[in-house]
Amino acid sequence: MEEPRIGVYICWCGTNIAKMVDVEAVASEVSSMPHVVLAKNYKYMCSDPGQELIIKDIKVHNLNRVIVAACSPRIHELTFRTACEKAGINPYLFEMANIREQDSWVHTDRSEATKKAIDLVIAAIRRVRFHEALEKRSVSVNPATLVIGGGIAGMTASLEIAASGKQVYLVEKADHLGGMVAQLDLTFPHLSSAQQIIHPLIQRVKNNPNIKVFLNTQIQQVHGYIGNFNTTILQNGNESVEIEFGNIIAAVGLKPFDPVVIPEYGYKKIPDVVTSVEFEQMLLSGLIQTSEGKDPRNVAIIHCVGSRNKKFHEYCSRVCCMTALKYVHQIRAALPDANIFEVYADMRAYGKGHEEFYAHTTHKQIIFLMFDQQTGLPRIRKAGAADKCNIIIEMDELLSGISIEVPVDMVVLMTNMEAHDDVKEVVRSIGVSLCGNQFFIEKHPKLDPVATTTGGVYIVGGCQGPKDIPDSVSQARAAAARILATIAQESVPVEVTTAQVNELLCCGCQTCVRVCPYSAVSYDESKKSSVVNEVLCKGCGTCGAACPAGAIKCKHFTDSQILAEIEGIMSLSYKY
């Protein structure tokens, strides 16, 4: 092994790290360690000048190992590996110490956080000495794409990819395309028809020779890796079809929350208390009428049903406020004399044209009534025989501070959007994680919002988090562009941190063959040794841990590297 020449860089991340970790102390503490040629600290290591600093030092000081102590490697490991590569050293001779997410952001004692940072950097220094150069490997890309979900996001992505002449398999579990948008009448803030948006799209998808649509279809476990996936899809519950594809877009959307669990609202118990989705159906039919077939004289629209309340969902569904304002226009047009009550907790008009829409709607002779979403949900009850209305809403009006009763004939509940019941099976089958709200987790919320940690798997539309039509379409096109770029390259780099068997040490027990979840290890009779198929191996390291002979090396997570890291990680806390 060549003599390690290590360069260490401690990032301030502005004040994110520097305010809790004494970055200068960390650099000076490790600067005299064996093999450390230099230790520097800098404001933003990931910035261009930060990366240039590394590149220049590698060349000037002939460094062959680099450590950056900064944010999580999940965020910038690739950035710095690329910088190393630019300077001519193998990207795997780099190591990162996580002193932001797992240090400065979670601790409150500066001296403790600094000590921890020093420990983590020392561990990285010890570990990086054992790093080995790994050669990049790439695989060919199957130009077909699997799109899961036939709503506006899935269809948009499919059309974008199909337009370049590539095959798309569009899988939809329902018996029709269109998703949520197909259930809407008008859209906000321009009050244009949702049907006129979605139906031409459905026709274009159906008529596109490059898009094969599978309705009533569920996906099964997806096998393979970026560029080379395959699965069996189950159509109509029994016909199985084998398909192969290089990339995946999940666009499974969300479903409306069922307000039956909120006792205050009496949904399904009190007639004429309807959800927003049911109200859309009414609007599509062209008639806003009570269950008795009469024109309602008073209509209340209740916001945040199932949203922004820890008992149901803590998050904001984003589209309901504007949809509720949209209803004002539609009700006012159909029933010019009706009284309209917007019963709201907060009005959120974050998007393009939304605030203007809100301002414009307030001139439509409507009454805004505010309630406390945490402690004072309005209570809906059926009106008595003597009342001149069907329903009475009791509420503590927040702005006036008085308790009131609102007589109405119809209540529209603006229901939250939540994950589908089968979302866990979907994410499991494609190797994506869910956040606490059951939304698909993106690779990076800001820098990589449509990719996931599984190469070749993208997430778009509502399943990534509630969003309106423009945002869903933007994501769909973004993911399609990412995939088309991969297809255009024809090959894609894959994980090189695979397992490797030392044939001299292998005793032939075949434990590794049995534990491998990907059937990547097989036993070669002629060599009397196990062998790893590098294309199938995903680098989990289970075989390496199971091998009783110590014959399997898990590249980049070798025993030597991990043990060296353990040796360094308690350097300051405990010395014996």
The CB-of-117 to another protein minimum distance in angstroms stands at: 10
What is the CB neighbour count within 10 angstroms for residue 526? 5
Q: Is 428 in the site for another protein (CB under 8 A)?
A: yes
Report if residue 123 touches another protein, rule: CB under 8 A.
Answer: yes
Give me the least distance between CB of 419 and another protein, in Å please. 12
Query: Shortest gap between Cβ of 521 and another protein (angstroms)?
Result: 13
For the bound state, the minimum distance from the C-beta of residue 570 to another protein, rounded and expressed in Å, comes to 5
**Shortest CB 209 distance to another protein, Å:** 37
Which CB, 105 or 358, lies closer to another protein?
A: 105
User: Smallest gap, in angstroms, from Cβ of residue 130 to another protein?
Assistant: 9
Q: How many other β-carbons are positioned within 10 Å of the β-carbon of residue 517?
A: 9
How far is residue 356's CA from residue 145's CA, in Å, rounded to a whole number? 40
* CA gap 65, 87 in Å, rounded: 11
How many whole angstroms separate alpha carbon 225 and alpha carbon 117? 36
Please give the C-alpha separations between residue 352 and each of 296, 342, 436, 467, 499, in angstroms, as whole numbers: 32, 22, 28, 13, 51
Question: Binders of another protein: how many residues, by CB under 8 A?
Answer: 61
CA distance 360 to 350: 15
Residue of the chain from 90, 497, 522, 529 that contacts another protein (CB under 8 A): 497
For position 540 contacting another protein by CB under 8 A, the verdict is yes
Spatial CB neighbours of 32, under 8 Å, sequence gap ≥ 6: none
Instruction: Find out whether 137 and 489 touch, Cβ atoms under 8 Å.
Output: no
Q: Residues 260, 261, 367, 435: which binds another protein (CB under 8 A)? A: 435
Q: Contact letters (x/-) for another protein, 323-342, by CB under 8 A?
A: --------------------
The window from 7-15, 267-275, 296-304, 566-574 that contacts another protein (CB under 8 A) reads 566-574
Question: Which of the residues 167 through 206 are near another protein (CB under 8 A)?
Answer: none
Please, what is the minimum distance in Å from the beta carbon of residue 436 to another protein?
4
Which of residues 143 and 568 has its CB atom nearest to another protein in the complex? Answer: 568
Rg of the chain over all Cα atoms, to the nearest angstrom:
29
User: Minimal distance in Å, beta carbon 194 to another protein?
Assistant: 32
Question: Does the footprint of another protein cover residue 530 (CB under 8 A)?
Answer: no
Determine, following the binding rule CB under 8 A, whether residue 113 of this chain makes contact with another protein: yes
Residue indicated by tokens 């191996």: 537
Restricting to residues 355-374, name those near another protein by CB under 8 A.
Answer: none
Among 15, 59, 61, 106, binds another protein (CB under 8 A): 106
Q: Does 78 bind another protein (CB under 8 A)?
A: no
452 binds another protein (CB under 8 A): no
- What stretches of 431-492 show up as alpha helix (H) in DSSP? 469-489
CB of 206 to another protein, least distance (A): 36
Q: Are the C-beta atoms of residues 93 and 539 closer than 8 Å to each other?
A: no
Among 5, 19, 43, 107, binds another protein (CB under 8 A): 107
Among 28, 38, 43, 73, binds another protein (CB under 8 A): 73
**Residue 138 binds another protein (CB under 8 A):** no
Q: Please tell me the distance from the alpha carbon of residue 496 to that of residue 494, in angstroms, as a whole number.
A: 6
Q: Which is nearer to another protein, 355 or 425 (CB)?
A: 425
Closer residue to another protein (CB): 108 or 207? 108
- Dihedral angle sign, alpha carbons of residues 181, 184, 186, 187: negative
Q: For residues 21 and 479, which CB has a smaller minimum distance to another protein in the complex?
A: 21
**Contact region with another protein (CB under 8 A), list: 30-38, 81-89, 524-532, 564-572:** 564-572
When the beta carbons of 186 and 250 are compared against another protein, the nearer one is 250
Out of 119, 397, 418, 442, which residue is the one contacting another protein (CB under 8 A)?
Answer: 119
550/545 Cα distance (integer angstroms): 8
* Cα distance between residue 456 and residue 14, in whole Å: 33
Figure out which of the listed residues 18, 441, 509, 513 binds another protein, where binding follows CB under 8 A: 441
Q: Is residue 553 involved in binding another protein (CB under 8 A)?
A: yes
- Residue 455: phi and psi, rounded to 5, are -55, 135
Whichever of 221 and 365 has its CB closer to another protein, that residue is: 221
The crossing angle, in degrees rounded to 10, of helices 354-361 and 320-334 is: 40
Helix or strand holding residue 94 (H, E): strand 94-98
Task: Specify the residue, 34 or 517, whose C-beta has the smaller distance to another protein.
Answer: 517
Please report how close the Cβ of residue 487 comes to another protein at its closest, in angstroms. Answer: 25
**What secondary structure does DSSP assign to 437-453, as a single string?**
TSPBPPSBTTTBSSB-S
Cβ atoms 554, 539 nearer than 8 A: yes
Across the strands, what pairs with 67?
A: 8, 95
E strand map for 162-227: 168-171, 211-214, 217-219, 223-225
- Our finding on whether 453 is near another protein (CB under 8 A) is yes
When binding is defined by CB under 8 A, the residue of 56, 74, 527, 528 that contacts another protein is 74
Q: Least Å distance between CB 510 and another protein?
A: 16
In 91-151, alpha helices (H): 110-128
List of E strands, 350-449: 367-370, 379-382, 391-396, 403-408, 410-415, 417-418
SS3 of 41, please? strand
Q: What share of the chain is helix, strand, coil (3-state, %, to 5)?
A: 30, 25, 45
217 touches another protein (CB under 8 A): no
Asked if 452 contacts 458 with a C-beta cutoff of 8 angstroms, the reply is: yes
The gap between the terminal CA atoms of the chain, to the nearest Å, is 29
In DSSP terms, 171 is beta-bridged to 148, 214
Residue type, 330: Q
Question: Minimum distance between the CB of residue 19 and another protein, rounded to whole angstroms?
Answer: 13
Q: Kindly tell me which residue out of 24, 43, 44, 72 binds another protein, with binding defined by CB under 8 A.
A: 72
| Footprint on this chain of another protein (rule: CB under 8 A) | 72-74, 98, 100-103, 105-109, 112-113, 115-116, 119-120, 123, 428, 431, 433-436, 441, 453-454, 497, 502, 515, 517-518, 538-542, 544-546, 550, 553-554, 557-560, 562-567, 569-570, 573-576
